[in-house]
C-alpha cells in the first residue's frame, strides 16, 4: 500500500480553508481523513475515525484545549471541518479515573462537553482518542490487518509482524472499557507507534497529520507483506452445476424468499433491494466446499454486523435448467436462516437480560455458489453498503484462511454489538417511507405524466426505473430524480427491448413490484376512413405494448411470490371517445379491459391491476399549440379550455401521478379505474 499524501494537495487544502478561518491543523486533519476514507481497503461505510487535539475559543470567547474527532454520520472520504466536532479535552480525560461508565453516560458526557451544542455526536471511540497523548490519531478497519487479527493466534502474528512497534489490545467492545484498556496498553510502552485492536482494527498516531497517516499506511503494508508469505491454497471448490442460470431469473427468486410478510398489514411485505457482485475472488469464496464453515463464522470487524448481520444466507447452487428446484431450495434456506436467527436472539437476549427487541430475521447478504453474492437492504444504497462490506469480508477471510484459520469474535460479542444502542443509532431513526423496499417501473417516463409519476413513486421511497424510447431524454429525467434512479432506453413495441429492460431492472434492483404502463401516442382519423396501417400502429403502441410490459412484470412478480401492482394509463378515450379519435380510443378501451383481465387472472397471486382515466393533461399528447388551437375553435381562453370540467380546475400531470401513487398503496383495491379529469360526466364509469 502506498501513501497518497501529496504535499501540494495538502497545502491547497490548508489554503482553501484559511479563508474560512479554519486553522491549518484542522485543515490537515480533514485532508488525511479524506485520504483514509477514500481507500476501501482502509475504511468502508463509517468503519473508522480520526482526531486532532488543538485549542480554540468556546462560545464565551475563552480559549480551551479540545479534541476534534469525527462526528456521527460523516463520511470520512468527504469530510468537512464541521464533521470534526470539538469536545473539551480536559473533561474527557478526567473520566479515565472512573472504574466504569455506561454507554448512555458516556454519550451524555461527550455531548455535554461539545464546544458547539448543535454539533453532531462525537464518535463512540472518542474517549480512546482523548486518552492517548498524541496530537493526531487515526483509526481504520484495514482489510489486511483484519486478516491477521481474525485468527486464533492473532497476538503471535502481530508480534511477528510489528515487534515492539505496535501495542496489542485484547478484544473489548467499543466504549469506555476499551478506551481505558487501550490507554493502559499505551502507558505500558509509550514508545509504540500505534495499537492493534484484536478482531477490530488498528490505531496509529503522531505529532503531525502526515506522521499519523503514513504510520497507518506503513502498518497496513507490513500486514499485506505478511499475508503474502507462506500462503496455502484456499477454498477447494465444491462440485457445481455447469450453468448457474441467468442473474435476471435468479435475483427475483432470492428477493422473494428474503421478503417478510408484514404482521400488521394484510397483503403487505417487508421487501429488500438487491445489489450483485460476482468477481473471480467472490466466485472462489462462495463456491468453496467449506463455505458453510468460514462464511458463517462471523463478521470480520464488529461494526459490520448492523449492516450485514452476523452471517450470510447460503443457498443451493442454481442449475439454470432447474430453477423450480432452486426456488424450493432457496425458500428452505430462508426458513433455516430465520430459525437460526430467532434461536440466536433468544439465547443471547436471555443472557443480556431479556430486554432487547428483535430486529427482523431477514438476511442482508446472500451467497450463491456458481454465481456470486448479493447485498440486501431496504434501499439500493443500503444494499450496496451490505455488498461492499460482504466483498471486504471475502477478501479478509480469504487472507485469513491463506495463512491460518479464520477466527472472528464469538456469538455473544456479535450480539452485544448488533443490539448495542450506539451502533443502532448509526442507522438513524427516520420513519420509513411508504414504498420503501419496493421497485417501480414507469414506461413513457420522459413524458409529462411518466416523469411526474416516477418522481412521486421515488418520493414515496421506491427505487425507480424509467423507460422511454428517447434515451437522452429519459437519462435526463432519471438524473433529475437523482439517487439510484435507473434510466433505460426501451421500445415498448419490441418484445426483445421490453424483455431486456425488465431483465436489467431485475439484475440491478432484484425484481419488480410496481409497473406503471404509461407509454402511448394519440393517433387520429375518422374511423371509417383511417387506413389499416394507422390503426394497427396505434394498437401496437396503445394496447399491445401494455400487454408486453404487463407480461414481463408478471413473470418477475410470480418468481418473487410477493404479489405486485400493475397500473395502466387508460385515458378518458377508453370511456368517452372523441370525434376522429377512434384510432386512439379503441386500443385504450382494450387496455382498460386488459387491466381488468389481469386483476381477474392474477388476483390469487396477490397481483393487483388498476387503471387511471385521465383527461386534458399538458403533455406530449396535449401540446401548447394543440391547446391554443382547441381553445380558439371553442371560442374560449386557453385557461378556460384546460379547466373545462365540473370543478373548473386544470388537471396536471402531478395529479395523475398522485392517482397512480394512491393505487400503488391501496393493497385491497384491484380492477379499479380512477378518474382524474376534474369532473366529466360523459367519461364517468357507470
Residues 595 and 587 sit within 8 Å (Cβ to Cβ): no
> What are the cell numbers at 295?
462464511
Helix 247-258 vs helix 545-560: angle between axes, to the nearest 10 degrees?
A: 50
d(CA 602, CA 624): 40
Residues 664 and 603 sit within 8 Å (Cβ to Cβ): no
d(CA 571, CA 549): 17
Residues facing 275 on adjacent strands: 375
> What are the cell numbers at 219?
502498518
The burial of 631, by beta-carbon neighbours within 10 Å (0-12 exposed, 13-18 middle, 19 or more buried), is given as middle
Tell me which residue has cell 448512555.
Answer: 104
DSSP state of 236: P
At 489, give phi and psi (nearest 5°).
-70, 135
Phi-psi group of 52: left, alpha or beta (phi > 0 → left; psi -120 to 50 → alpha; rest → beta): beta
Q: Which of 31, 213, 294, 584 is catalytic?
A: 584
Classify the C-alpha dihedral 318-321-323-326 as positive or negative: negative
E strand intervals along 420-577: 439-443, 463-468, 486-489, 514-517, 564-569
Question: How open is the CA angle 113-119-124, to the nearest 5 degrees?
Answer: 65
| Helix and strand element counts for the chain (H, E) | 26, 20
Element (H, E) at 368: strand 365-368
Tell me which residue has cell 365540473.
Answer: 646
**Catalytic residue check, 344:** no
d(CA 398, CA 375): 19
The burial of 96, by beta-carbon neighbours within 10 Å (0-12 exposed, 13-18 middle, 19 or more buried), is given as middle
Element (H, E) at 211: helix 209-227
Residues 554 and 652 sit within 8 Å (Cβ to Cβ): no
The burial of 21, by beta-carbon neighbours within 10 Å (0-12 exposed, 13-18 middle, 19 or more buried), is given as exposed
> What are the cell numbers at 215?
504510520
Classify the C-alpha dihedral 650-654-659-660 as positive or negative: positive
Residues 567 and 623 sit within 8 Å (Cβ to Cβ): no
Residues catalogued as catalytic? 584
Amino acid at each position: 500500500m502506498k501513501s497518497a499524501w501529496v504535499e501540494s494537495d495538502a497545502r491547497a487544502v490548508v489554503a482553501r480553508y484559511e479563508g474560512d478561518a479554519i486553522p491549518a491543523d484542522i485543515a490537515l486533519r480533514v485532508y488525511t481523513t479524506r485520504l483514509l476514507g477514500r481507500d476501501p481497503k482502509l475504511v468502508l461505510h463509517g468503519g473508522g475515525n480520526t482526531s486532532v487535539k488543538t485549542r480554540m475559543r468556546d462560545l464565551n470567547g475563552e480559549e480551551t484545549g479540545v479534541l476534534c474527532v469525527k462526528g456521527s454520520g460523516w463520511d470520512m472520504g468527504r469530510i468537512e471541518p464541521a464533521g470534526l466536532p470539538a469536545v473539551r479535552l480536559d473533561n474527557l480525560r478526567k473520566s479515565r479515573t472512573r472504574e466504569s461508565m455506561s454507554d448512555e453516560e458516556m454519550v451524555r458526557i461527550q455531548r455535554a462537553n461539545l464546544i458547539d451544542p448543535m454539533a453532531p455526536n462525537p464518535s463512540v471511540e472518542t474517549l480512546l482518542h482523548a486518552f492517548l497523548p498524541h496530537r493526531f490519531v487515526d483509526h481504520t478497519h484495514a482489510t489486511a490487518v483484519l486478516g491477521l487479527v481474525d485468527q486464533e493466534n492473532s497476538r503471535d502474528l502481530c508480534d511477528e509482524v510489528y515487534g515492539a512497534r505496535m501495542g496489542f489490545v485484547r478484544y473489548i467492545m467499543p466504549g469506555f472499557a476499551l478506551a481505558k484498556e487501550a490507554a493502559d496498553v499505551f502507558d505500558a510502552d509509550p514508545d509504540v507507534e500505534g495499537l492493534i485492536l484484536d478482531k477490530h482494527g488498528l490505531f496509529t498516531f503522531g505529532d503531525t497529520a502526515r506522521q499519523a497517516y503514513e504510520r497507518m499506511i506503513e502498518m497496513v503494508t507490513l500486514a499485506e507483506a505478511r499475508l503474502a508469505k507462506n500462503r496455502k491454497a484456499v477454498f477447494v471448490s465444491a462440485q457445481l452445476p455447469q450453468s448457474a442460470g441467468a442473474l435476471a431469473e435468479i435475483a427475483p427468486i432470492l428477493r422473494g424468499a428474503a421478503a417478510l410478510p408484514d404482521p400488521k398489514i394484510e397483503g403487505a411485505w417487508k421487501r429488500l433491494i438487491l445489489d450483485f457482485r460476482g468477481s473471480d475472488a467472490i466466485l472462489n469464496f462462495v463456491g468453496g466446499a467449506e463455505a458453510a464453515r468460514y462464511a458463517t463464522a462471523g463478521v470480520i470487524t464488529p461494526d459490520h454486523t448492523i449492516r450485514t448481520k452476523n452471517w450470510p444466507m447460503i443457498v443451493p447452487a442454481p442449475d439454470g435448467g432447474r430453477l423450480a428446484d432452486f426456488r424450493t431450495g432457496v425458500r428452505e434456506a430462508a426458513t433455516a436462516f430465520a430459525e437460526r436467527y430467532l434461536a440466536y436472539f433468544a439465547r443471547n437476549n436471555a443472557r443480556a437480560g431479556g430486554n432487547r427487541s428483535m430486529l427482523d430475521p431477514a438476511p442482508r447478504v446472500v451467497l450463491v455458489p456458481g454465481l456470486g453474492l448479493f447485498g440486501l437492504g431496504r434501499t439500493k444504497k443500503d444494499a450496496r453498503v451490505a455488498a461492499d462490506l460482504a466483498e471486504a469480508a471475502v477478501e479478509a477471510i480469504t487472507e485469513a484462511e491463506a495463512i491460518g484459520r479464520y477466527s472472528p469474535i464469538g456469538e455473544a460479542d456479535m450480539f452485544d454489538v448488533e443490539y448495542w444502542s450506539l451502533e443502532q443509532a448509526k442507522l438513524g431513526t427516520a420513519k420509513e417511507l411508504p414504498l420503501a423496499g419496493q421497485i417501480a417501473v414507469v414506461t413513457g417516463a420522459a413524458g409529462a405524466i411518466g416523469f411526474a409519476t416516477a418522481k412521486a413513486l421515488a418520493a414515496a421511497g421506491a427505487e425507480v426505473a424509467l423507460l422511454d424510447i428517447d434515451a437522452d431524454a429519459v437519462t435526463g429525467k432519471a438524473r433529475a430524480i437523482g439517487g439510484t434512479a435507473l434510466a433505460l432506453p426501451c421500445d415498448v413495441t419490441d418484445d426483445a427491448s421490453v424483455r431486456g429492460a425488465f431483465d436489467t431492472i431485475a439484475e440491478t434492483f432484484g425484481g419488480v413490484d410496481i409497473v406503471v404502463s404509461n407509454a402511448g401516442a394519440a393517433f387520429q382519423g375518422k374511423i371509417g376512413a383511417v387506413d389499416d396501417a394507422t390503426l394497427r400502429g396505434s394498437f401496437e403502441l396503445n394496447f399491445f405494448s401494455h400487454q408486453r410490459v404487463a407480461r414481463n412484470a408478471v413473470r418477475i412478480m410470480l418468481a418473487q411470490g410477493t404479489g405486485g401492482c400493475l397500473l395502466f394509463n387508460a385515458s378518458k378515450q377508453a370511456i368517452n371517445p372523441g370525434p376522429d379519435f377512434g384510432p386512439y380510443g379503441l386500443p385504450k378501451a382494450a387496455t382498460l379491459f386488459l387491466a381488468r383481465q389481469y386483476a381477474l387472472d392474477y388476483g390469487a397471486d396477490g397481483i393487483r391491476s388498476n387503471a387511471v382515466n385521465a383527461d386534458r393533461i399538458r403533455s406530449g399528447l396535449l401540446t401548447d399549440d394543440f391547446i391554443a388551437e382547441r381553445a380558439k375553435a371553442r371560442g374560449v381562453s386557453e385557461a378556460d379550455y384546460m379547466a373545462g370540467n365540473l370543478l373548473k380546475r386544470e388537471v396536471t400531470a402531478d395529479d395523475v401521478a398522485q392517482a397512480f401513487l394512491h393505487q400503488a398503496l391501496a393493497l385491497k383495491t384491484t380492477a379499479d379505474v380512477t378518474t382524474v379529469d376534474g369532473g366529466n360526466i360523459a367519461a364517468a364509469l357507470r
